[in-house]
Amino acid sequence: MIPYNFTFLSHPKICSGLKALEHIPFELESLNARKPLVITSSRWAKKGLARTLTKALYDSNITIGALFTNAPNYPSVTIINELSKLYRDRGCDSIIALGSGGIAHIAKAVNMVVSLKTDILKCTDLTISSPLKPLICIPTADCEGGEMAAIAYYECFEKQSDFLYPDVIVIDSRITRHATSHEVANCALTSLAHAIEACGIAAPNPINDAYAHTALQFIYQYLPKTIKRPCNKDGSVAIVNAAACADTAFSNAPHGIVHTLAQAIVLDTNLQPGIVMGILLRYSLAAKLHAKGGIRPELLLALAGIDTYAKTPEKDRQKTAYDYLIKCIDATCNYAPSTLKGLNIPHYKLKEYARLAAAKNKQHKETEYMALLEKSFEGK
């Protein structure tokens, strides 16, 4: 039965596939912008992505206000302020984030500063009540989660607002195929955790389920071959599409236990969030399978398709869905250990992470966080 009481918002327009980059000039003009500030990192600039983007803007009325090619992976206040100044000095009217992770969050933070005309540290307490400047996100396949969601991370802050969604997400194989297998594994595991947590809530939202299931389907189908060959065009585009869908689903659901714990660990250790989420997700799913509600059997439909779902007896669907999900996580075994101990996290730190997570997300008790951490530490 469809539950009638829900809200759902997905703001971004997704342009994906062949020659998707060439859509940018038209999309920018329809957003009434003609002079974007392009933000990317030196790594992507060296790989020629900035040049690919510049070429895609040929034969249009779009002038690149500044092509900033030195964005760090950490969105610090200094870089946000410097880029905001560059934006104003050049008279830009929009922002293009070419890359994932820190680049996208820097772009969102700069957008807040230039749109709200205030300091970045003051933005944290402000409520965003009107649309920001147009923001186009061109993700690479090294997503860390949240780039395409209604959330921005900068310094040690986290800002959530419906206006923080990018306006357009452009997914093109010329951009996505440059990540490494390790980064693809990180991206897929983050998306997997976000998608499962988004549709595993007590009152599921049917539209959110559709996004989460699409993400799961893409990951299950394309993860093994993309990890082997990250330059695979279809695979890399599918993984980034999965990240986009999972981010939308994640924005419309409360934060889950895996995400909250992973954030607490990542803040302290600077590990890749996807790898941590992958470990926590494995044991969280196992605990859920034996818990009262169990895993939603619809996940099997999303992962394996209608034929397998129909063939599987009703009582076995949860276990089969669990097996499929573990198969997805196992596909990344060469790049992610199966326990927290394998990440060299000291045992005495677990209590601190549980306390941090409980302070941030009060939906679960500190003991629940601790139980999951203990299980994930030794793999018991």
Partner 1 sequence: MNALQYPEIKPKKKFIKRIYIAVMLWVVGRAIQAAAKVDSEVKEEFAKLKDNFLLKMWIWPNGPAMYVGKTKDGKVKYLGWKDKGYKPTLTMTIKSVEAAMLLFTFQEGTAISTARNRLVVDGDLPDACALVRILNIVEVYLLPKIIAKLAVKRYPKWSQMNPFRKHFGRILIYVRAFTF
Residues at the contact surface with partner 1, assessed by CB under 8 A: 15, 17-19, 22-23, 25-26, 29, 54, 56-70, 82, 85-86, 89-90
> Toward partner 1, which CB reaches closer, 45 or 249?
45
Both structure tokens of 329: 């996580």
CA distance 263 to 193: 12
CA distance 48 to 51: 5
Cβ contact 253:207 at 8 Å = no
> Toward partner 1, which CB reaches closer, 11 or 90?
90
Provide, rounded to whole angstroms, the least separation between the CB of residue 132 and partner 1: 22
CA distance 173 to 218: 15
How do beta strands 157-160 and 135-138 pair? Answer: unpaired
> Toward partner 1, which CB reaches closer, 33 or 62?
62
> Toward partner 1, which CB reaches closer, 48 or 254?
48
> Toward partner 1, which CB reaches closer, 92 or 242?
92
> Toward partner 1, which CB reaches closer, 16 or 161?
16
Residues facing residue 97 across a β-bridge: 39, 137
Question: Per this entry, what is the length of the chain?
Answer: 380
Burial of 53 (0-12, 13-18, 19+ CB in 10 A): buried
SS (H, E, C) 128-187: CCCCCCCEEEECCCCCCCCCCCCEEEECCEEEECHHHCCCEEEECHHHHCCCCHHHHHHH
Provide, rounded to whole angstroms, the least separation between the CB of residue 72 and partner 1: 12
> Toward partner 1, which CB reaches closer, 56 or 285?
56
Provide, rounded to whole angstroms, the least separation between the CB of residue 29 and partner 1: 7
Provide, rounded to whole angstroms, the least separation between the CB of residue 71 and partner 1: 11
Provide, rounded to whole angstroms, the least separation between the CB of residue 130 and partner 1: 28
Provide, rounded to whole angstroms, the least separation between the CB of residue 35 and partner 1: 8
Provide, rounded to whole angstroms, the least separation between the CB of residue 67 and partner 1: 6
Burial of 336 (0-12, 13-18, 19+ CB in 10 A): buried
